[in-house]
A and B are shown apart, each in its own frame.
Chain A
Amino acid sequence: MNRSLEARDLTCGYGNRQVLDSLSLAARAGEVLVLLGANGAGKTTLLRALARQLRPARGCVLLEEQDIQRLSPPELARRVSLTPQSERRDWPLTIEQAVLLGRAPHRGWLLPYTPADRERVELALNSTGLSDMRERLITELSGGEWRRTILARALAQEAEVLLLDEPTAGLDLKYQVDVLRLVRRLAIEQQLVVVLTLHDLNQASLYGDRIALLARHRLIALGTAEEVFTAELIQQTYGVPVTIVRHPVYSTPLVVPLDADANAAPPKP
């Protein structure tokens, strides 16, 4: 099976404000595609459109060559999972109860969970380091613990497409690296399509198989870190002068910002 998620000529926005303009890109199974762009460049909007949270004004999103608008809500949920940047938590469910809801697309909203569901949830809790705190109430978690709970729920959902909006936000370094390694491993082992947004360019370089640069409502470059991490493209994306160096151990490209005012003295003596 050749899994893929493709945005074709996608134009969408909110009311009169256009956020994406005829954007086309395809995410493939077995790779992590990282979306990069300045604030407001449309990364979240693109993820929402890919998850059918937003109806495109023009163009379409194809899941294995089929328009996602044609899928029923449960079928879409079995195949595509979206973890938004922030989530509400009004009631004190336990972590385990929250993660079990990731099984709803498979089990439906009425039938009791099966042992197979609990097994899935077990795996998801283990891979996010939450198994020892499953009884904790979600209303009492730190921001990072809550992010991991949401990720665990997305894993329990067992979708072939994982859309993650800033999965590392609010996590300390260990969990940032853990999350990125985990989703990359899952992408390869289970041939998942993974699309995520990041703010850390150097993590994108290390963990992104391909990187999409978004600026001014459009896709300005798509390729491996080697291909798109050029001083020129990064400056176009973020509006900040940078220089590209090499990772001392892996020799992947790293982005180092320069002070905007080239003639001035260095920011700190």
Chain B
Amino acid sequence: MKFSSATLVTLALILAASMVISLGVGAVSIAPARVVQILLHPGDPSLEATETTIVWNLRLVRVLLAALIGAALGSAGAGFQGLFRNPLADPFVIGASTGAAAGATLAIVLGLSGTLIGLDPVSLCALAGAVATVAAVYVIASIGNETPTLSLLLTGVAVSSLMGAIVSLMMFLHDEKLVTIFGWLMGSFSGRGWATLRSAAPLILAAIGMLWLTARSLDALTFGEESATSLGLRLTRVRGTVVVAASLATAAAVAAAGVIGFIGLIAPHIARRFVGAQHALVIPASALTGALLLVLADDVARSVAAPSELPVGIITALLGCPFFLFLLVKRRREFGTG
């Protein structure tokens, strides 16, 4: 236990270090030591004003956003994997991301405005889309008490395609908003500012907290429904909480930065290697790992084709797809019996 808490602290330190390095990455590169100086003493006269501006006004918000979105996707992945008792579940694979995108696109083309309980229409519609998609996938993919991999993946693909079709239809019907929607859908942090960070942060932190509270219940779910029930677990309540919390994290991430795949798949796998299988550790470790992965992926997105940049969703897909296929091959045996 002590060892694992130390692992969490170590992960957090690695994340902090990588964020500092990332602040120096880009068209103008700044040494990490200088970045720390700029962060700690922004008024220091010995610093170059341009570098201070770049770090504080351009890069800091972006790196923070990448870390936040990564944490959301990583913990949502851990939640979905625990809920479906399946290591291939991920917000993107099971269709939650696309569902959120459909909801958000709807809000954009309808030009909805105003707020409800402090949420903007894009976030709200993204949340509704994500919850509806996950609930549909859960109901359709479960066979009796089980959610076999094959059935989960097929259902995820089918529901995702439907949601994708809805997005395409709306783009087709509203071609005046094509560029807006398309740029946002690709998954990118460019052009997102402090406002985005401020609206996404409370949702994502609340969702991670909610997920963390279900940790022991997710552990008990390991044993199957009958045993979990005989340990006094209220199955419906736990499932409802996990679906809502993980969908909320996904929706907030999608509303802020578009569809970014596979972080939620990879992060929990890495996390479990370091902290074991208890969800009380897996969930925070997945959040930290997801944050780390997305910060690094965004560094690549910014520097590989500099001075222009790639949408980070492309980088995570290039990284994540092979990993997903690797997991699939490892589990191939299961399909024969399924």
Residues on A lying within 8 angstroms of B by beta carbon are: 48, 51, 53, 73-78, 80-84, 87-94, 97-98, 101-102, 104-105, 109-110, 137, 150, 157
Contacts and interface: CB of A to CB of B under 8 A. Distances in A.
Contacts of B87: 90
B232 A104 contact: yes
B217 A84 contact: no
Contacts of B214: 109
Given A87-B224, A91-B277, A94-B276, A104 B230 contact: no
B229 A105 contact: no
B219 interface: yes
A87 B227 contact: yes
Contact of A104 (B86, B216, B272): B216
Given A91-B277, A93-B222, A102 B229 contact: no
Contact of B222 (A51, A74, A91): A91
B219 A97 contact: yes
A104 B220 contact: yes
A105 B232 contact: yes
In the A-B complex, the 4 residue pairs with the smallest Cβ-Cβ separation, listed nearest first, are A77-B232, A91-B277, A74-B232, A88-B224
A101 B231 contact: yes
Interface residue SS majority, chain A: mixed
Contacts of A77: 230-232
Given A84-B226, A101-B220, A110-B213, A92 B232 contact: no
B229 A93 contact: no
A120 to B, nearest CB: 14
Contacts of B232: 73-78, 104-105
Given A87-B223, A104-B220, A110-B216, A93 B277 contact: yes
B226 A90 contact: no
Contacts of B213: 109-110
A192 B276 CA distance: 35
Interface of B: 82, 85-87, 213-214, 216-217, 219-220, 222-224, 226-227, 229-234, 272, 276-278
B233 A82 contact: no
27 contacts: A48-B226, A53-B226, A77-B231, A77-B232, A78-B232, A81-B230, A82-B227, A82-B230, A83-B227, A88-B222, A88-B223, A89-B222, A90-B86, A90-B87, A90-B222, A91-B85, A91-B272, A91-B277, A94-B276, A97-B219, A97-B278, A98-B223, A101-B216, A104-B231, A110-B213, A110-B216, A137-B277
Contacts of B230: 51, 53, 77, 80-82, 84
A159 to B, nearest CB: 9
Nearest to B235: A73
Given A80-B230, A93-B277, A104-B231, 15 more contacts: A51-B230, A76-B232, A77-B231, A87-B224, A88-B222, A89-B222, A91-B82, A92-B276, A93-B219, A104-B220, A104-B233, A109-B213, A109-B233, A137-B277, A150-B227
A88 B86 CA distance: 12
B3 to A, nearest CB: 12
B88 to A, nearest CB: 12
Contacts of B272: 91-92
B276 A73 contact: no
Nearest to A85: B226
Contacts of B217: 109
Contacts of B220: 101, 104, 109
Nearest to A71: B232
A105 B231 contact: yes
A113 to B, nearest CB: 9
Q: Among B220, B227, B276, which residue has the most Cβ atoms of chain A within 10 A?
A: B227
A51 B225 CA distance: 13
A84 B272 CA distance: 28
Contacts of B276: 92-94, 97
A195 to B, nearest CB: 14
Q: Among B82, B85, B214, B219, which residue has the most Cβ atoms of chain A within 10 A?
A: B219
A92 B219 CA distance: 10
B277 A92 contact: yes
A87 B226 CA distance: 9
A92 B222 CA distance: 9
Contacts of A93: 219, 222, 276-278
Contacts of B233: 73, 104, 109
Nearest to B238: A109
